[in-house]
Chains A and B, each alone.
Chain A
Amino acid sequence: MTPAGEWGTRVAAALRVPGRLLALAALVAMTVLRLYDPPPIESLRMRLFDVFQRLSPRTYVDQPVRIVEIDDETLRLKGQWPWPRTLLAELVQRIASGGPSVLGVDILFLEPDRLSPSRLAETLPDLSKDLRAALQSLPPNEFKLANAFRAVPTVLGLGPSLDGEKGLPSPLRLTRVHEFGENPRPRLVTYPNLLRSLSVIAAAEQGRGLLAVEPETDGVIRRVPLVVHVDGRIVPAVTLDMLRVAERASFVRVETEDATVRQIVVGRHQLPTDARGRLWVHYTAPPTGPADPQGARYISAAQLLDGGYDPAALRGALVLLGVTGLGLVDLKATPLGLMQGIDVHAQILESVLSGGFLTRPRQADASEMAIIVLAGLVVVFAVPYRRPKLAALPVVALAAALLIGAWAQYRLFGVLIDGAYPTLSSLILFSVMLGATFIAVEAARRRLAVELDRQRQIAARIEGELNAARAIQMGLLPRRFPAFPDRTDFDIHALIEPAKAVGGDLYDFMLIDADHLFFMVGDVSGKGIPAALFMAMTKELFRSNVVRRGLAIDRIVTEANAQIAIASADLLRDTSDMMFVTSFVGILNLQTGLVQFCNAGHDSPFVLADGATPRQIECRGGPPLGAKDEFLYPLESHRLRPGEMLLMFTDGVSEAQDPLGHFYSVAQVATVLAMTPPLRAAEAAVTRLYADIKTFSRGAEQADDITILALRWVGSGDDDDASRD
């Protein structure tokens, strides 16, 4: 086999493991899904990053970032919002007196102040002519506010507008943006238009930037665009332009690489963004109470106005001015809970000043897909599913490694790498593999159960067949007793107790004519179906030989021997085994009591007579039937006296064993038969002997068939006839 072919074979074998093909298909699907990154997948990743931020938020270190908030207390003391711009101007003057490096204004001034003296004159119809003229001669409040803004480097907010028809407001001063690299606009967050403050106020600004912080699809603010695209122009966020003004820089630089934003540079700050120019916000935990050090970030406007706070503390600071009074702000969802938009700006500025950025590497997506594939391959190929309990361990370890690895990246380097989706993907593959393994194991178990059931059925059928064979075999033998109820001149009884397996014992008797009874016992060597068949054959051979040969028992036996030898030779040729039959065969002359018999390798029968010790008939005999091809069995005889009994048995009797393996033995047969009172009936003799064997064996399993045949000659009572034969 070529190496390539060998490799192919090994791959094919590896893929035959249950579930692998399906799991690989799932892996491809999971990877492709990650490539397209639909909102649920992105959301999973974001939620992991949220968890990271909650577990380990940015540590607050006091940076020169301050929020002057027009809070509930201020509104209570100074009146409802919107304020006259003169009051706001007063607040700005207080801030300016402290000398902050920049003031970012989180308020849009879109319409003229209704409380300007000239507007007031229009809205109050009952004024005297002089007063009206005096009011109209006064400058609008916007002048005062603009003058206040001129005293401090001010960055005014711009609002996003969905109205794209009108074109950018003109004149609109925008911060200069240098582009480094390809055109970033296609990737940037885009708005159709902008809202800007009245030009009389805007004239006082040194910078301007977008106030909008837009949530992700799930409503959480994680990334804030530092620059956006509006009608062909690139517009900085308010935070970015505050940094520029604080740095006294004249422009910001957007650097692109491979048509995506790489970073934004302003003054000495390099801000890493995502491909669309958004900065990951690294949040601090929400303040826990009045004693929290983050309280330094917030200054109530009322305290500044009333002198409760020394503006000198604002020197060099980046100050955000906004409204935080309840009912006037919308709260934004962040990974660390609800915050106000102005808080998000402050968090961004603090992150930049402390350099504690969160970043997501440009190749993060590609890396994560590689991790998904690698982890997936480990789950599919390296986990021992044949032992499901062990299989879970490496997968749990893998999932832990993925999550802890991602955590470590965040914790140590502020790098956002997804561990959740690779974990999810690995667990899905694991379930596929485990499910397939369970299904395969279950299928194998079911196959095994079916096979077992089939085996049981076969066994039951064989046992049934054996039982049937046994029943047929026993049915061949004369089993009804008394066998000759109308005869009083003799008495015959037999018993056969088969061993568990089909054996080969047999007995038979029949009246040849009124004066001659044929009888035999035999034992076919071997067991099982072959022995049973041989036994049936032997019985039929003798019956037909008796019919043909009549009373010549020696010829009957000699012929049967030859026939059985032929059958045995056939068997030897075909099966390398043979059979033979030990047998005692005789004919009793019912007139005279003369027994003519042949003994083919069988135990000699006992003769039982009243008052005499049982003794076995002496005889020459011959080999078992079928053991020798040709043998002339000698004709032998024994004369019974009236009342004497012949008792024949097979070696199942003499070789019956007790639980210790002792044999019953022929001597024991003699002892039982010698018992008094003398046994005067064939049935009694058979029953007595059998009962004694059972007592002896004490429940030990019967190894061989037990056969007992008793034949008692009563005679006619006319002794004169004895000489007739």
Chain B
Amino acid sequence: MQIEETRRGAILVLTPVGRIDNETGPAFQTRLLAEMGGGGATILLDLSKVQYISSAGLHVLIAATKQSKALNGRFAVAALQPIVKEIFTISRLSHVVPIFDDVTAAMAAWS
């Protein structure tokens, strides 16, 4: 899976493209946890180019959230597509991962 990467000040914006599922999940998780490195990282996951997230994908997001918390970093997702939003709703993930309407909203909230 292709992952676009932009840096806005202290914030790293990662934009995965495609699906986060059984196949792409493990590698994506490794990448995310690596970005968190020693801790204190601020990472925003732009999901505008993700059409689908399977349970394995949710696993990645929850693991990233927990790791970020353990390392005193910040982690959020933004710009959920309709299907992804529905999956989030079923899983009640809003209780776990901060969700923003779009990247701009996240930047505003974190600045």
The answer for the CA separation of A233 and B51 in the assembled complex, in Å, is 117
Pick from B33, B59, B65, B95: contact of A525, CB below 8 A.
Answer: B59
Interchain CB contact under 8 A, A623 and B95: yes
**A576-B33, A601-B93 in contact; A627/B54 too (CB < 8 A)?**
no
Distance in Å from the Cβ of A401 to the closest Cβ of chain B?
A: 61
Interchain CB contact under 8 A, A569 and B66: yes
Q: Using Cβ atoms and an 8 Å threshold, which residues of chain B touch A582?
A: 55, 91
Chain A contact residues: helix, strand, loop or mixed: loop
The chain A residue sitting closest to B59, CB to CB, is A525
Q: List 6 tightest A-B contacts by C-beta distance, closest first.
A: A623-B95, A601-B91, A525-B59, A627-B96, A623-B96, A627-B62
Q: Using Cβ atoms and an 8 Å threshold, which residues of chain A touch B7?
A: none
The answer for the CA separation of A624 and B61 in the assembled complex, in Å, is 12
| 8 A Cβ contacts from B43-85 to A | 54-56, 58-59, 62-63, 65-67, 70
CB of B8 closer than 8 Å to a CB of A? no
CB of B104 closer than 8 Å to a CB of A? no
A-B contact pairs, 11 of them (CB 8 A): A568-B66, A599-B92, A600-B92, A601-B91, A601-B93, A603-B90, A604-B90, A624-B62, A627-B95, A628-B95, A655-B55
Pick from A578, A622, A703, A704: contact of B63, CB below 8 A.
Answer: A578
The chain B residue sitting closest to A523, CB to CB, is B55
CB of B22 closer than 8 Å to a CB of A? yes
The answer for the CA separation of A525 and B70 in the assembled complex, in Å, is 20
Interchain CB contact under 8 A, B67 and A623: no
Q: A564-606 vs B: 1/0 string, CB under 8 Å?
A: 0000110011001110101000000000000000011111100
Interchain CB contact under 8 A, A577 and B63: yes
The answer for the CA separation of A576 and B90 in the assembled complex, in Å, is 26
Interchain CB contact under 8 A, B95 and A622: yes
**A525-B58, A526-B59 in contact; A623/B91 too (CB < 8 A)?**
yes
Chain B contact residues: helix, strand, loop or mixed: helix
The answer for the CA separation of A572 and B69 in the assembled complex, in Å, is 12
| 8 A Cβ contacts from A511-550 to B | 523, 525-526
Distance in Å from the Cβ of B61 to the closest Cβ of chain A?
A: 9
The chain B residue sitting closest to A604, CB to CB, is B90
Q: Using Cβ atoms and an 8 Å threshold, which residues of chain A touch B63?
A: 572, 577-578
Pick from B22, B92, B95: contact of A703, CB below 8 A.
Answer: B22
Given contacts A582-B91, A601-B93, 5 further A-B contacts (CB under 8 A): A569-B70, A599-B92, A601-B92, A602-B91, A627-B65
Interchain CB contact under 8 A, B59 and A572: no
Q: Using Cβ atoms and an 8 Å threshold, which residues of chain B touch A631?
A: 95
The answer for the CA separation of A578 and B59 in the assembled complex, in Å, is 8
Interchain CB contact under 8 A, B92 and A572: no
The answer for the CA separation of A651 and B93 in the assembled complex, in Å, is 16
Interchain CB contact under 8 A, B55 and A651: yes
Q: Using Cβ atoms and an 8 Å threshold, which residues of chain A touch B92?
A: 599-601, 621-624
The answer for the CA separation of A523 and B54 in the assembled complex, in Å, is 13
Q: Using Cβ atoms and an 8 Å threshold, which residues of chain B touch A568?
A: 66
Interface size on A, as a range, is: 20 to 34
The answer for the CA separation of A541 and B2 in the assembled complex, in Å, is 40
Interchain CB contact under 8 A, B91 and A525: no
Q: Using Cβ atoms and an 8 Å threshold, which residues of chain B touch A572?
A: 63, 66-67, 70
The chain B residue sitting closest to A616, CB to CB, is B90
The answer for the CA separation of A576 and B66 in the assembled complex, in Å, is 10
The answer for the CA separation of A602 and B67 in the assembled complex, in Å, is 23
The answer for the CA separation of A568 and B67 in the assembled complex, in Å, is 11
The answer for the CA separation of A572 and B65 in the assembled complex, in Å, is 11
Distance in Å from the Cβ of A373 to the closest Cβ of chain B?
A: 61
Q: Using Cβ atoms and an 8 Å threshold, which residues of chain B touch A601?
A: 90-93
Distance in Å from the Cβ of B31 to the closest Cβ of chain A?
A: 13
The chain A residue sitting closest to B58, CB to CB, is A525
Interface centre among B55, B58, B59, B70 (most CB of A within 10 A): B55
The chain A residue sitting closest to B86, CB to CB, is A666
Q: Using Cβ atoms and an 8 Å threshold, which residues of chain A touch B29?
A: 577
Distance in Å from the Cβ of B7 to the closest Cβ of chain A?
A: 24
Pick from A526, A624, A655, A704: contact of B91, CB below 8 A.
Answer: A624
The answer for the CA separation of A440 and B58 in the assembled complex, in Å, is 54
Q: Using Cβ atoms and an 8 Å threshold, which residues of chain B touch A599?
A: 92
The chain B residue sitting closest to A631, CB to CB, is B95
**A572-B67, A577-B63, A578-B62 in contact; A623/B93 too (CB < 8 A)?**
yes
Interchain CB contact under 8 A, B95 and A655: no
Q: Using Cβ atoms and an 8 Å threshold, which residues of chain A touch B55?
A: 523, 525, 582, 651, 655, 704
The answer for the CA separation of A601 and B59 in the assembled complex, in Å, is 12
The answer for the CA separation of A720 and B92 in the assembled complex, in Å, is 37
Distance in Å from the Cβ of B83 to the closest Cβ of chain A?
A: 10
Q: Using Cβ atoms and an 8 Å threshold, which residues of chain B touch A628?
A: 95-96
| 8 A Cβ contacts from B82-111 to A | 90-93, 95-96
Q: Using Cβ atoms and an 8 Å threshold, which residues of chain B touch A526?
A: 56, 59
The chain A residue sitting closest to B94, CB to CB, is A623
Distance in Å from the Cβ of A625 to the closest Cβ of chain B?
A: 11
The answer for the CA separation of A604 and B70 in the assembled complex, in Å, is 31
Q: Using Cβ atoms and an 8 Å threshold, which residues of chain B touch A525?
A: 55-56, 58-59, 62
The chain A residue sitting closest to B55, CB to CB, is A651
Distance in Å from the Cβ of A274 to the closest Cβ of chain B?
A: 84
Q: Using Cβ atoms and an 8 Å threshold, which residues of chain A touch B22?
A: 703
The answer for the CA separation of A577 and B67 in the assembled complex, in Å, is 9
Q: Using Cβ atoms and an 8 Å threshold, which residues of chain B touch A573?
A: 70
Q: Using Cβ atoms and an 8 Å threshold, which residues of chain A touch B67?
A: 572, 576
The answer for the CA separation of A604 and B89 in the assembled complex, in Å, is 11
Q: A689-725 vs B: 1/0 string, CB under 8 Å?
A: 0000000000000011000000000000000000000
The chain A residue sitting closest to B89, CB to CB, is A621
Distance in Å from the Cβ of A656 to the closest Cβ of chain B?
A: 12
Q: A463-475 vs B: 1/0 string, CB under 8 Å?
A: 0000000000000
Q: Using Cβ atoms and an 8 Å threshold, which residues of chain B touch A703?
A: 22
The answer for the CA separation of A575 and B55 in the assembled complex, in Å, is 20
Q: Using Cβ atoms and an 8 Å threshold, which residues of chain A touch B91?
A: 582, 601-602, 623-624
Distance in Å from the Cβ of A464 to the closest Cβ of chain B?
A: 25
Q: Using Cβ atoms and an 8 Å threshold, which residues of chain B touch A604?
A: 90
Q: Using Cβ atoms and an 8 Å threshold, which residues of chain A touch B95?
A: 622-623, 627-628, 631
The answer for the CA separation of A622 and B92 in the assembled complex, in Å, is 5
The answer for the CA separation of A65 and B66 in the assembled complex, in Å, is 117
Interchain CB contact under 8 A, A655 and B59: no
